[in-house]
């Protein structure tokens, strides 16, 4: 079976860049040019030590291994997959050329790039089995995808009606650089999975609960024509005291665009503060619209929503914890 690689530079933040530019890429800007010239692992390690004196040896070895793997171990026609934490989707494609040094993309953290023919259909994370989800959660920038997860990803991306399932004796092997960090990443993705399974009205209540945990009092308006509810959060609960935060929550597939944000902003008072929650994420135009908004506006995708929940869970009320039961565990910092 052809090898499949996960390539997830900057934690998945380059997902759209990969698709638009038809590449998979990594950064490592300070040693990228040296790496592109065919440097050995030892030469790359020496270059790393020179540009980053004082760096731990383990960090150097891990970094060099990722760069060397991207250049030398990934082959033409290998499959590659990348993940968007915001969209909760995987993009699957096939490598179509060697690694190239791209100094013009240095600012994007894409100094080393390989051409990729991406398949048109994205893979929704919710369609994968739990074992595949966990095996794709490594903190490494580059790693081999287990065969069972590879079969699922390819089948969905190619539009198969039936998704292949792993055999009972098939073992999922995941390369782990830091097992504790690996556990943390998997747990956070599982929390997002659980949030995403909430009904539309439960999602409204969860957002209101997080705001209460942050010290605000909330009012949730009755359901509107689009089955959405606005939330008003303020210190007094009436909106008389500042800050008065007006919240719009959209729990649906697909990204919210600039038109939706303009509609939301159009009804805001100059002293309002806005919070727009979209579990489907936001388009680039929507992000630009938020930056130039006349009133302060915060956008929460599913990723930011989950982070806000975990950051404020200790002070959340019983209603919120019942809606999203989580358990603490401790690990070395």
- pLDDT of 249-287, one tens digit each? 998 878 899 999 999 988 788 889 999 999 988 988 999
Q: For every residue of the chain, which 3-state class applies, written as one string?
A: CCCEEEECHHHHCCHHHHHHHCEEEECCHHHHHHHHCCCCHHHHHHHHHHHCCCCCHHHHHHHHHHHHHHHHHCCCCCEEEEEECCCCEEEEEEECCCCEECHHHHHHCCCEEEEEEECCCCEEHHHCCHHHHHHCCCCCCEEECCHHHHHHHHHHHCCCCCCCCCCCCCCCCCCCCCHHHHHHHHHHHHHHHHHHCCCHHHHHHHHHHHHHHCCCEEEECCCCCCCCCEEEEECCCCCCCCCEEEEEEECCCCCECHHHHHHHHHCCCCCEEEEEEECCCECHHHHHHHHCCCCCEEEECHHHHHHHHHHHHHHCCHHHHHHCCCCCCCCCC
Give the pLDDT score at 174.
Answer: 41
Residue range 303-325, pLDDT digits in tens: 999 999 999 999 999 999 999 99
Which of 5-14, 231-240, 274-283 comes out lowest in average pLDDT?
5-14
Q: What is the largest CA-CA distance in the chain?
A: 65
**Position with higher pLDDT, 327 vs 81:** 81
**Tokens 């699957």 map to which residue?**
92
Which of 138-147, 218-227, 241-250 comes out lowest in average pLDDT?
218-227
| Cα–Cα distance for residue pair 193/190, rounded to 1 Å | 5
What's the mean per-residue pLDDT of the chain? 87
**Position with higher pLDDT, 240 vs 117:** 117
Question: What is the arithmetic mean of pLDDT over 65-91?
Answer: 92
Rounded to 10 deg, the angle between the 284-291 and 258-266 helix axes is: 30
Beta bridge partners of 5: 80, 144
4-177 and 200-323: same fold? no
* % of the chain with per-residue pLDDT over 90: 53
At residue 247 the predicted structure's pLDDT band, cuts being 50, 70 and 90, is very high
At residue 176 the predicted structure's pLDDT band, cuts being 50, 70 and 90, is very low
Give the pLDDT score at 100.
Answer: 94
Topology given in CATH for the domain delimited by 200-323: Trna Endonuclease; Chain: A, domain 1 (3.40.1350)
Residue 333 has pLDDT above 70, yes or no: no
Give the pLDDT score at 99.
Answer: 94
Radius of gyration of the chain (CA): 22
CB 272 within 8 A of CB 246: yes
| Cα–Cα distance for residue pair 234/104, rounded to 1 Å | 46
Question: What is the arithmetic mean of pLDDT over 98-112?
Answer: 93
Assign domain 4-177 to its CATH architecture: Roll (3.10)
**pTM, full prediction:** 0.66
Domain boundaries of the chain, sorted by first residue: 4-177, 200-323
Which of 3-7, 12-16, 94-98 comes out lowest in average pLDDT?
12-16
Give the pLDDT score at 170.
Answer: 45
Which of 205-209, 230-234, 243-247, 250-254 comes out lowest in average pLDDT?
250-254
* Spatial CB neighbours of 43, under 8 Å, sequence gap ≥ 6: 34
């Amino acid at each position: 079976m052809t090898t499949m690689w996960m390539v997830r530079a900057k934690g998945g933040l380059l997902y759209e860049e990969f698709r638009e530019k038809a590449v998979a890429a990594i950064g490592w800007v300070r040693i990228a040019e040296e790496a592109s010239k065919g440097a050995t692992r030892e030469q790359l390690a020496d270059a790393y030590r020179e540009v980053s004196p004082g760096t731990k040896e383990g960090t150097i070895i891990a970094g060099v291994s990722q760069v060397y793997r991207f250049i030398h171990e990934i082959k033409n026609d290998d499959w590659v997959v990348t993940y968007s934490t915001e969209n909760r989707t995987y993009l699957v494609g096939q490598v179509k050329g060697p690694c190239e040094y791209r100094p013009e993309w240095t600012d994007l953290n894409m100094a080393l790039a390989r051409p990729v023919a991406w398949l048109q259909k994205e893979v929704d994370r919710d369609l994968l089995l739990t074992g595949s989800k966990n095996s794709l959660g490594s903190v490494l920038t580059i790693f081999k995808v287990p065969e069972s997860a590879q079969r699922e990803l390819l089948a969905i991306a190619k539009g198969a009606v039936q998704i292949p399932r792993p055999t009972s004796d098939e073992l999922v092997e995941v390369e782990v650089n830091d097992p504790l960090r690996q556990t943390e990443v998997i747990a956070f993705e599982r929390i997002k999975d659980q949030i995403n399974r909430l009904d539309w009205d439960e999602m409204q209540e969860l957002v209101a609960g997080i705001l209460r945990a942050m010290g605000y009092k909330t009012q949730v308006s009755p359901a509107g024509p689009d089955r959405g509810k606005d939330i008003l959060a303020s210190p007094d609960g009436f909106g008389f005291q500042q800050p008065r935060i007006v919240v719009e929550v959209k729990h649906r597939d697909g990204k919210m665009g600039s038109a939706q944000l303009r509609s939301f902003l159009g009804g805001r008072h100059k002293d309002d503060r806005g919070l727009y929650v979209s579990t489907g994420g936001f388009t680039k135009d929507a992000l630009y619209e938020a930056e130039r908004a006349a009133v302060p506006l915060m956008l929460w995708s599913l990723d930011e929503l989950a982070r806000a929940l975990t950051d404020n869970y200790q002070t959340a009320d019983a209603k919120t914890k019942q809606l999203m039961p989580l358990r603490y565990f401790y690990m070395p910092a």
